[in-house]
C-alpha cells in the first residue's frame, strides 16, 4: 500500500468512527429540582448529603443526573413561584424540605413526583393519604417517629428543668400538636401555645411567653430553621430553656435537642429518587420514618441559664457542646 492510499484509508476510518459516535444516543440526564426555603449557604450541608446519597447509587451530578437548586432565601412567600418555575422547566422529580415546602410543590403539580424530606405529621398535614401507601405524587421521609416521641421530648426537658408546670410551645401556624397535648396531660404540665405566621413575629412571641411565666419552651415547625440563631438568642435573652427536635438548633445555642438526624434523611432521600427514576410510582413508596436519632446538649447554654445537667442525661447524649 502506497503512502497516499494509506492516508486515505486512515481518513476514511476516522470518518466512520466519528459517524458511529455521533449516531450513539446521548445518555439522558435525570433532572432533579431541589426546592428549599433556606439560603444557598444554609443549604450547603444538606444538599451535599443528598448529592452523596445519589453518588452512592451511581448518580453523578452533571453527568447522568442534573440537580437544579431553587432557594427561598428564608421567605415562605417565594415558594409557590419557585415550585411553579420547576414545573414549567419540566424537571423529572422535585425534592423538597419540610411541610410548607412540600405543600407548595404539591399545589404546583399533581403529576411530577415529589420527594419530601423532614416533614412533621405528613398525614395530618394533608401531604399523603397514609404512611404505608401515600397515594398521589408525594412520598419521602418524615421526622416524627411516633406519637410517643412528644412524651419523650417533654420528659427530657423536665429532667434538666425539674418542677416544670407550664411549658411554652412556639410553633408555625398550621401545625397541630394533639400528641404533645396528650403527653403534657400525662405529665401534669400545662402548655401555652404561641402560633407564629412569619419570623417577624418572633420577638412578640417570646414576650408573650415571658408574660405567661412559662418555665421552658418547645420549638416546633420548619419556619424557624433559617432563623434558628435568632430563636436561640431570644431564648437566652428571655432566660428560657428551649428544646427542638433537630440538633442544628442546639448547635445554634438552644439548650437541648432530640430527634431525627436531618443530614441522614437527606442522604437516604437519594434512594427515593433512584426508585422513581427506575419507574416506581411515588404513591406506592411508603413514607419512611427516622432510624437515627441524636440527643444534643449545649452545656454553654445550660451554664448561662444557671442549670445543672444531670450526669445520667450527659451519659446518654450523642453530642455535648461545651
Domains observed in the chain = 30-144+261-284 (3.40.50.2300), 148-259+293-321 (3.40.50.2300)
Q: How many CA atoms lie within 13 A of 278 on its CB side?
A: 10
Which tops the pLDDT comparison, 2 or 232?
Answer: 232
The Cα–Cα gap between 310 and 290 comes to 27
The Cα–Cα gap between 191 and 180 comes to 9
The tens digit of pLDDT for each residue in 290-312 reads: 888 899 999 999 999 999 999 99
Facing residues of 257 across strands? Answer: 244, 296
The Cα–Cα gap between 122 and 159 comes to 30
How high is the mean pLDDT of the chain?
89
User: Torsions phi, psi of 264, nearest 5?
Assistant: -65, -40
Q: What share of residues in the chain are helix, strand, coil (percent, to 5)?
A: 45, 20, 35
Cell 413508596 belongs to: 285
Of 223, 274, 263, 264, nearest to 244 by C-alpha is: 223
Length of the chain: 322
The mean per-residue pLDDT over the stretch 200-211 comes to 94
Of 166, 163, 140, nearest to 260 by C-alpha is: 140
The tens digit of pLDDT for each residue in 137-187 reads: 999 999 875 667 778 889 999 999 989 999 999 998 877 777 888 889 999
pLDDT score, position 261: 92
User: Torsions phi, psi of 7, nearest 5?
Assistant: -65, -45
Amino acid at each position: 500500500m502506497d503512502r497516499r492510499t494509506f492516508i486515505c484509508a486512515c481518513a476514511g476510518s476516522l470518518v466512520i468512527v466519528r459517524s458511529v459516535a455521533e449516531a450513539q444516543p446521548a445518555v439522558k440526564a435525570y433532572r432533579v429540582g431541589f426546592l428549599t426555603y433556606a439560603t444557598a449557604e444554609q443549604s450547603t450541608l444538606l444538599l451535599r448529603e443528598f448529592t452523596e446519597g445519589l453518588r452512592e447509587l451511581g448518580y453523578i451530578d452533571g453527568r447522568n443526573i442534573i440537580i437544579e437548586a431553587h432557594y427561598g432565601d428564608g421567605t415562605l412567600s417565594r415558594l409557590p413561584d419557585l415550585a411553579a418555575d420547576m414545573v414549567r422547566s419540566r424537571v423529572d422529580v422535585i425534592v423538597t424540605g419540610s411541610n410548607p415546602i412540600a405543600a407548595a410543590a404539591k399545589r404546583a403539580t399533581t403529576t411530577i413526583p415529589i420527594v419530601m424530606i423532614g416533614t412533621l405529621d405528613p398525614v395530618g398535614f394533608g401531604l399523603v393519604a397514609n404512611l404505608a401507601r401515600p397515594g398521589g405524587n408525594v412520598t419521602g421521609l418524615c421526622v416524627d417517629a411516633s406519637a410517643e416521641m412528644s412524651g419523650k421530648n417533654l420528659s427530657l426537658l423536665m429532667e434538666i428543668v425539674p418542677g416544670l408546670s407550664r411549658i411554652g410551645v412556639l410553633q408555625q401556624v398550621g401545625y397541630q400538636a394533639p400528641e404533645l397535648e396528650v403527653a403534657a396531660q400525662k405529665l401534669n404540665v400545662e402548655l401555652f401555645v404561641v402560633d407564629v405566621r412569619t419570623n417577624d413575629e418572633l420577638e412578640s412571641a417570646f414576650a408573650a411567653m415571658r408574660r405567661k411565666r412559662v418555665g421552658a419552651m418547645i420549638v416546633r415547625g420548619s419556619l424557624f430553621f433559617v432563623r434558628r440563631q435568632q430563636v436561640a438568642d431570644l431564648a437566652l435573652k428571655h432566660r428560657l430553656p428551649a428544646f427542638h427536635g433537630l440538633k442544628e438548633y442546639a448547635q445554634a445555642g438552644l439548650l437541648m435537642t432530640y430527634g431525627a438526624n436531618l443530614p441522614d434523611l437527606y442522604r437516604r432521600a437519594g434512594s427515593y429518587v433512584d426508585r422513581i427514576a427506575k419507574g416506581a410510582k411515588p404513591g406506592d413508596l411508603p413514607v419512611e420514618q427516622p432510624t437515627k436519632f441524636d440527643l444534643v446538649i449545649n452545656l454553654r447554654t445550660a451554664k448561662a441559664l444557671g442549670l445543672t445537667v444531670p450526669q445520667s442525661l450527659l451519659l446518654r447524649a450523642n453530642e455535648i457542646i461545651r
